[in-house]
Amino acid sequence: MKKILIVIFFILISICCVDPINLKYSPSNRINNVLVTKVIDGDTIEILVEENIEKVRLVGIDTPEPYSKNNESKWYNLPDKHLRKWGVNAFYYTNERLYNKEVNISYDTIQGQKDQFGRTLAYVYINNKNFNIELVKNGFARVYTEKKSDYYIILIKAETYARNNKIGLWNYSYQDN
């Protein structure tokens, strides 16, 4: 009985003392100090790793497509014209924050290291902050709900925050259309 009470005590302490929004995720498969050599769009970059260029898709998120049709149903029926504008905004934001800067990356344990197109799937960290979450919280991206990820719940919270506060692409009135 005493052992059970001790286990319960430690579980309660760990639950009460951990804030999942600010949880620092540092898996063993982390690569530090890689250079961002190109920003392709809001959620795709190229990095230099050991003298090789790798195309990286930011895992767990999706930014609007700036120059091709967006699936409006995945964007809560926001119109394509609005989404394309925010696709361009996401590109400029990502470019400003990441281009020609050193970042750290880590891989998702659920989705793995590569997508179906051969791109590396990764979380990008700049100044020790998860940039994937930053894009969602600042209204430049949605959570990629088609597949779960390590940060899925935290990303959902970030998107809910952005949507509820009408931040970025979520600041849209259907009267504007």
Q: For residue 176, what pLDDT is reported?
A: 57
pLDDT (average), residues 56-63: 98
Partners of 124 in beta bridges: 105
pLDDT (average), residues 150-162: 97
Domain boundaries defined on the chain: 28-170
Q: Please state, rounded to an integer, the average pLDDT across all residues of the chain.
A: 87
More confident residue, 173 or 56: 56
Check if 65 is active-site.
yes
pTM of the model: 0.82
Name the fold adopted by 28-170: OB fold (Dihydrolipoamide Acetyltransferase, E2P) (2.40.50)
Query: What is the tens place of the pLDDT at every residue in 2-13?
Result: 555 444 444 444
pLDDT at 174 over 80: no
Check if 163 is active-site.
no
Among residues 54, 57, 97, 142, the one annotated as catalytic is 57
pLDDT (average), residues 138-153: 96
Among residues 65, 134, 142, 159, the one annotated as catalytic is 65
Check if 57 is active-site.
yes
Among residues 97, 119, 134, 159, the one annotated as catalytic is 119
Measured distance between the N- and C-terminal CA atoms of the chain, rounded to whole angstroms: 65
- 31 CB-side CA count, 13 A: 19
Q: For residue 1, what pLDDT is reported?
A: 60
